[in-house]
Structure 1
């Protein structure tokens, strides 16, 4: 209570959210006070870790393998527009995450934000929906590993591959938190530099520079830009959303960073790299090198290969095909470890909010939440064994549809929480200039992300009732759309339990719970002092968006 009164007293000094308590000297951006948002998690991750997790968190099976499925369904133009639209949503969501995560870097970030700025029932539904989505992602990435390794051999039984790499995911996550961060930094660096190789190589292949095949150019765009009409384009969207799911991981990781004011904006500003290099240019490279009718595409009749691997093999560049498959393997494994990490942290926030058993709060001295980790490994590992009796593409379709719906629900509530936060901030007499970090995109980005999240959930209902190229059945509907009924049941159940109003009024929203206060010195001034000579300054300016203040 005293802390709240102290905070109120600083309002007239334009210091809300940016000032430290009186008589406290701290370094620029250093965390100086929390208000009820701490847990037993350890702040062991740095700006470098958060930026690289933000860049590489969702680069996995959805992009490297799922883009083949999207190409067969929607054609070259369909997949490209799908990634452009999905990319704008991800960008908008990350702008909302940046502003909220700096101010409130708490466990289970967007779950806590939903409960604080919307209402408890929404937070309950979101928290448990997202909790189930992460084990689903772990299962999907594990079955993706089986698909990737089948490129080299099919002699090893699928259950053996699943068991081996489930153990690997477990080992990465039960190491110290900073070990997890270093693993993801390494994986993200591999992904980042390899995509540059892919872009250059695919341009050469498309121009006819490979040992085999002639020039391709935009031949496939001219032949059939969009396959299966408008419904084909709509069918691309779930795969695109799944490919970008995990983009919100920076919000969860913020609770374990030493300096959220420094780390989170760097992660948000780096989002354009992932959207441009990985998704937009990556999708474009697929469309100018691989035919939508290639039977080897993931989900086709052949070996379920990545379109990037197919491009290299068709061009007669076998060594690059093997290297590409190796990078895909690293990417899929990395995405699986991030999903396990994020899924194990969500129950902590739910337990702190009284929405999960108290034992989920407990962490050991290294900051490892054992209860959350074990639950994710058991559920995710169990689902992964679905791949034993079904094809990889079939399991991928089931799990990616479920994940994309949970993801859209989460993205929508993140944007809505941001909108409600800003309304409360204004209603209680504060200025946007009082925020420790603010996005220049408000309110347009927040409303854009919310609008498309709602619309695409409706689109997936349409596709579940009237599927592309198949007869509608109750089984297929629930296999593709069961996430939404589950969310509705969770929400209505919570409404019956919590009762009260349907949302918290702006004037009644608690702006102090879980809030962080930072040192008064501006980060820009500190960074300017560190630049030193012009060479270092140019390097930092050019690559700062990617590396952050990482020490590279």
Structure 2
């Protein structure tokens, strides 16, 4: 095992939990970490405008444009509450990551902070958990791309499109990070414009600007109502849970779906390591996250609830369409108002969403396994980069999982999408917990070492108290995310996809602690120096 998980000079100091590195060692490591031209290192080639646009719209994917249709069936009130609560959680996660990234910038993603402030075993588990999350969702995004294209070319198998776009994405990730950043900049810009247009469309329709000239306003919140009873179908048998219990389950289902829709917001956090002047650009990018949450997500679900009743026949039909443009609740809003032929336009624009998401999946997975290699937690070859600072072996490993898309091509897209939502949600939520736990551990370390929070270049008013609330909410979402596996009877497939990420994470923590005999980082010995450019 030692041959595969080797420790080289330059591995993260978090592995050394017994003592804080000497001052001269910390200074040397800091210089190496900041040196963009160092061997086996990433380059800071991500431009501020690229980072800012990625923060605004980089991770917006099918969760918002398609997934909200399923949640809308539970009522506009349930939908809004679910997205508002999880919007608060994800914003707290981002500002916590922003405070750490601006105060102690490094290139080792979330796993590096977990190793440094909590326990190297947690860093190991967090890194591999993050890697698995994105290599699992990668083939799903490419499969969705193929299904979208089948609307116009049903004669071409989905597998062909998986190969075509898979090759394009690999090529984008194999060249300089500036090319990836530029591609994501333009795709993110297009996504932002698309979401703005769809939100405005729904708002205009709700005000009576559609062909039917019906001004609905918030009428659908009264009739049929803001909250729907919980309904689920298993094996052709429909189960309805009414009353307060049914409405509560509806809100909870929206919480879980909103978690999936928000996943990937932390994309900008991984890009911190390839951004020049992180102390200036990190806070700016994090602040853009609030704009994204409030306008794109909160405003988006609000206008959907104004334009589409949850019992609409068009909505019920749309949610059975899998991942085509017809499945989008925004298309449903247009249909209800009498606007025709919008599905083709939305179907085409959704291609930008799925291709961008798949492109980001490879980027995030490769940078994560590269960071694990720098900490000696993945095979040593994974930390190698070419002269452009691209971690070629890491990109190659991440790209191999594209082949899993061939397994999905012959299955029901709606079924596969549901499985991936459950599986990826728990992986992503566990990473949010790791960020919050790492942040709170850093706060304890600063207090123990007498370092005031005022020395941090970026501070947010919601912290640190907000981190405790976000941690509790995220933990509850993980614990109860698989409740539907028990309604109306126990379903093994739903249970496994909802909870398998938890034992995988715990086993990784215990295994690394057993193999490497790691210890929890003591607050008084925590390294709060490496990576800082100056003491205030």
Establish whether TM, by shorter chain, passes 0.5: yes
The corresponding residue for 1:337 is: 359
Offset at 1:151? 4.3
SS of residue in 2 equivalent to 1:288? helix
* Alpha-carbon displacement from aligned partner over 1:340-392 (angstroms, at most 9, x marks no partner): 1011000111111111100000011111111111121111x122223222211
Question: How many Å separate the matches in 2 of 1:145 and 1:287?
Answer: 27
How far apart, CA to CA, are the structure 2 residues paired with 1:407 and 1:326?
28
8 Å CA contact retained: 1:32, 1:516: yes
The separation in 2 between residues aligned to 1:218 and 1:392, in whole angstroms, is 33
Equivalence for 1:516: 532
Q: Which residue of 2 aligns with 1:504?
A: 521
Q: Is the 8 A contact 2:33 2:106 kept in 1?
A: no
Report the 3-state secondary structure (helix = DSSP H, G, I; strand = E; otherwise coil) of the residue aligned with 1:516.
coil
Any runs of at least 4 consecutive aligned residues in structure 1 with deviations exceeding 6 A, and if so which?
none
- 1:91 is displaced (CA, Å) by 0.5
User: Counterparts of 1:153 and 1:291 in 2: how far apart (Å)?
Assistant: 33
Shift in CA distance, 305/117, structure 1 to aligned 2, threshold 3 Å: same
Matches within 5 A, 1:104-143: 104-143=104-143
Partner of residue 4, structure 2:
none
| 2:280 equivalent to 1:279 | no
In structure 2, the partner of 1:5 is: 23
**Structure 2, gaps ≥5 residues long:** 1-12, 14-19, 231-245
User: What is the CA–CA distance in structure 1 between the aligned matches of 2:363 and 2:323, rounded to whole Å?
Assistant: 34
- Distance, in Å, in 1 between the alignment partners of 2:335 and 2:108 is 43
Cα distance change, pair 76–107 in 1 and its aligned pair in 2 (3 A): same
Contact 2:367/2:391 (<8 A) preserved: yes
For the residues of structure 2 that align with 1:140 and 1:345, how far apart are their CA atoms? 20
Q: Equivalent residue for 2:507?
A: 489
Task: Tell me if the contact between 2:419 and 2:494 (Cα under 8 Å) persists in the aligned partners.
Answer: no
2:188 alignment counterpart: 188
Corresponding pairs, count: 493
Q: Give the direction of change, closer, same or farther, for the CA distance of 1:308–1:210 in structure 2 (3 Å limit).
A: same
Which whole-Å CA distance do the structure 2 matches of 1:330 and 1:500 have between them? 44
**Alpha-carbon distance in structure 2 between the residues aligned to 1:301 and 1:431:** 52
The residue correspondences of 1:538-549 to structure 2 (distance < 5 A) are none
In structure 2, relative to structure 1, the CA distance for the partners of 1:3 and 1:235 (3 Å cut) is: closer
CA gap 1:171/1:363 in 2 versus in 1, 3 angstroms: same
Greater shift, 191-200 or 400-409, is seen at: 191-200
Q: Find the partner of 2:462 among 430, 441, 455.
A: 441
| Distance change >3 Å, CA 187–CA 213, structure 1 → 2 | same
CA shift for structure 1 position 239: 1.9
Partner residue, 2:77: 77
Instruction: Give the corresponding residue for 1:259.
Output: 277
Relative to structure 1, is the Cα distance of residues 352 and 52 closer, same or farther in structure 2, using a 3 angstrom cutoff?
Answer: same
After TM superposition, the structure 1 = structure 2 runs for residues 466-477 of structure 1, keeping only pairs within 5 Å, are 466-467=486-487, 470-477=488-495
Partner in structure 2 of residue 317 of structure 1: 339
State the alpha-carbon separation in 2 of the partners of residues 289 and 257 from structure 1.
41
The answer (yes or no) to whether the contact 2:33–2:107 under 8 Å persists in 1 is no
SS in 1 for 2:490: coil
From the superposition, tell whether residues 216 and 295 of structure 1 become closer, same or farther in structure 2 (CA, over 3 Å): same
Name the CA distance, whole Å, in 2 between partners of 1:220 and 1:148: 30
* 1:47 pairs with 2:63: no
Cα separation, 1, equivalents of 2:323 and 2:125: 40
The alpha-carbon deviation at position 32 of structure 1 amounts to: 8.7
SS of match in other structure, 1:336 = helix
1:32-72 CA deviation, whole Å, 9 max, x = no partner?
94568975111101211111111222201111111112223
Q: State the 1:439 CA deviation.
A: 2.7
> For each residue in 1:61-93, what CA deviation from the matched residue of structure 2 results, as whole angstroms up to 9, or x when unmatched?
111111112223x22211111111110001100
Q: Distance in 1 between matches of 2:62 and 2:104?
A: 31
Matched-pair contact (CA < 8 Å) for 1:312–1:321: no
CA distance in 1, matches of 2:338, 2:378: 54
- TM-score, normalising length from structure 2? 0.85
- What's the counterpart of residue 16 of structure 1? none
Seen in structure 2, the aligned counterparts of structure 1 residues 149 and 363 have a Cα distance that, compared at 3 Å, is same
Cα distance change, pair 298–156 in 1 and its aligned pair in 2 (3 A): farther
Q: Which moved more, 1:262-271 or 1:38-47?
A: 38-47
Q: 1:338 Cα deviation (Å)?
A: 1.0
Aligned 8 A contact 2:147 2:323 in 1: no
Query: Structure 1 CA distance, aligned partners of 2:463 and 2:418?
Result: 35
CA distance in 2, matches of 1:519, 1:299: 57
Q: In the alignment, is the contact (CA less than 8 A) between 2:119 and 2:518 conserved in 1? A: no
State the alpha-carbon separation in 2 of the partners of residues 308 and 268 from structure 1. Answer: 28
Residues 382-440 of structure 1: CA distance to partner in whole angstroms, max 9, x if unpaired?
22223222211111111111111111111111011111111111211222222233333
- Counterparts of residues 57-76 of structure 1 (less than 5 Å): 57-72=58-73, 74-76=74-76
* Separation of aligned partners in 2, 1:402 and 1:214: 41
Change (3 A) 1:357 1:284: same
CA–CA distance in 1 between the matches of 2:93 and 2:352?
A: 27
Contact 1:62–1:243 at 8 Å: present in 2 too? yes
Taking the aligned partners of 2:75 and 2:321, their CA distance within structure 1 comes to 14
Query: What is the aligned-residue RMSD (CA, Å)?
Result: 2.7
Whole-Å separation in 2 of the counterparts to 1:511 and 1:519:
11
